[in-house]
Amino acid sequence: MSEPYIVIAAYNEEKNIGNVIENLKSEGYSKIIVVDDGSSDNTYSIAKSQNIFVLRHIINRGQGAALQTGMTYALKHGAEYIVHFDADGQHDAKEIKEILLPLQLKRAQVALGSRFLKKQKIPLKRKILLKGGIIAVWVLNGIKLSDTHNGFRAFTKEAAKKISITSDKMEHASEILEKIKKHKISYEEVPVTIKYTEETLKNGRKGQGHFDSVKILLKMILKKVGV
Amino acid sequence: MEIVQILIIVFSLFALSRVFINIKDRNLEKLEIIFWTLFWLAAIFVAIFPASITIIAELLGVERGVDLLIYGVIILLSYMIFRLYAKLENTEKRITKIVRTIAIKNENNIHK
């Protein structure tokens, strides 16, 4: 089977990116694409020292934009499978195997990580926020999932070509689901673990504070009504 | 003539001059030029003959001329904000495209 391309969008992740890359390597993955999204810290040089693909946005464009840059690049290099993986160490590299399984067995073209399918402790505040996102996606896009805003995903190359992310910022999570629905792409949810550390909670995945959630919801609605 | 009328006229003339400068620089499209020229000329006209707006208002079923003016301006401003929003989104997308192209072009590719 051909090796998956792991796409990581990183913005000011100098503390975590090194570890994340090493964990991926120790699991045997070598096709790692880090897209440094105009970080002001050492994210770029740390990633560059790691013998992987490193792309750099000269200015910050948001996570959606960075992921799409990575996907475009991976497709250009003939990727068969593309995995989205978080730069902050929230995801477990061991679970990439599991998220790829539905694609390899041809059960689905997209696999979406879900933290709610796995028994684990999720902070209450975060839980409320995420459940809100699930309801919003359900109402707006008609897709009912157990976890809509999970950055751990896998795509076949066919699906990746159809799902071209145009939302630069955090609405990309909803946009991906929207496109899955629109292009009738088969998908499956896969239970994944999310490691909550004090830091990841504080960061709230940069630019996804509670106020931003409202902004994202507004943008989703505006998009629905055709603005 | 009240001071406010003079102020409106002076400002409208200034705005008109801006429109004409933009014609010279070819920044505006034909329709935009016509729209803004008419708009500021109308403003001057209304400033000189305030009663005229009341007549139009009554024709349209609005009681006072000033009310009509406010309705009109609110609609115009809302539309312009919408246009700006759409344009801005478009510009953002284009910036991303440029940034992406540069990123891929300058790839740091050790695997080669």
- Contact flag A69-B100 (C-beta cutoff 8 Å): yes
- Total domain count, chain B: 2
Taking the whole predicted model, whether its pTM rises above 0.80 is answered as: no
The pLDDT assigned to A207 comes to 44
What rounded mean pLDDT belongs to chain A?
Answer: 86
- Contact flag B100-A51 (C-beta cutoff 8 Å): no
The pLDDT assigned to A219 comes to 74
Lowest mean pLDDT, pick from B34-38, B51-55, B108-112: B108-112
Same domain, B78 and B42: no
- Total domain count, chain A: 1
Residue B109 has pLDDT above 60, yes or no: no
- Contact flag B103-A57 (C-beta cutoff 8 Å): yes
In a domain, B112, yes or no: no
The pLDDT assigned to A137 comes to 74
The pLDDT assigned to A184 comes to 92
Lowest mean pLDDT, pick from A78-87, A158-167, A215-224: A215-224
Tell me how far apart the alpha carbons of residues A58 and A54 are, in angstroms, rounded to a whole number.
13
In a domain, B40, yes or no: yes
* Residues of chain B positioned with their CB less than 8 A from the CB of A11: none
Same domain, B9 and B38: yes
Same domain, B42 and B79: no
Q: Distance from B110 to chain A by nearest Cα, in Å?
A: 6
Tell me how far apart the alpha carbons of residues B10 and B13 are, in angstroms, rounded to a whole number.
5
The pLDDT assigned to A227 comes to 53
Same domain, B44 and B12: yes
- Contact flag A227-B103 (C-beta cutoff 8 Å): no
- Contact flag A55-B111 (C-beta cutoff 8 Å): no
Q: Which of B93, B95, B103 sits opposite A69 (nearest CB)?
A: B103
In a domain, B53, yes or no: no
Q: Distance from B92 to chain A by nearest Cα, in Å?
A: 8
Same domain, B2 and B43: yes
Same domain, B75 and B41: no
Tell me how far apart the alpha carbons of residues B5 and B97 are, in angstroms, rounded to a whole number.
49
Residue of B nearest to A76 (CA): B104
* Residues of chain A positioned with their CB less than 8 A from the CB of B92: 168
In a domain, B56, yes or no: no
Same domain, B42 and B73: no
Same domain, B43 and B4: yes
Same domain, B38 and B81: no
Q: What is the 3-state secondary structure (H, E, C) of chain A?
A: CCCCEEEEEECCCCCCHHHHHHHHHHCCCCCEEEEECCCCCCHHHHHHCCCCEEEECCCCCCHHHHHHHHHHHHHHCCCCEEEEEECCCCCCHHHHHHHHHHHHCCCCCEEEEECCCCCCCCCHHHHHHHHHHHHHHHHHHCCCCCCCCCCCEEEEHHHHHHCCCCCCCCCHHHHHHHHHHHCCCCEEEEECCCCCCHHHHHHCCCCCCHHHHHHHHHHHHHHHCCC
Domain interval for residue B80: 65-107
Span B53-98, pLDDT tens digits = 889 899 999 888 889 989 999 999 999 999 999 999 999 999 999 9
CA distances A176 to A95, A159, A171, A188, A205, Å, are 21, 10, 9, 13, 18
The pLDDT assigned to A212 comes to 65
- Contact flag B100-A68 (C-beta cutoff 8 Å): yes
The pLDDT assigned to B40 comes to 94
Confidence of residue B107 (pLDDT cuts 50, 70, 90): confident
In a domain, B101, yes or no: yes
Domain interval for residue A35: 5-224
| A171: CATH | 3.90.550.10
In a domain, B83, yes or no: yes
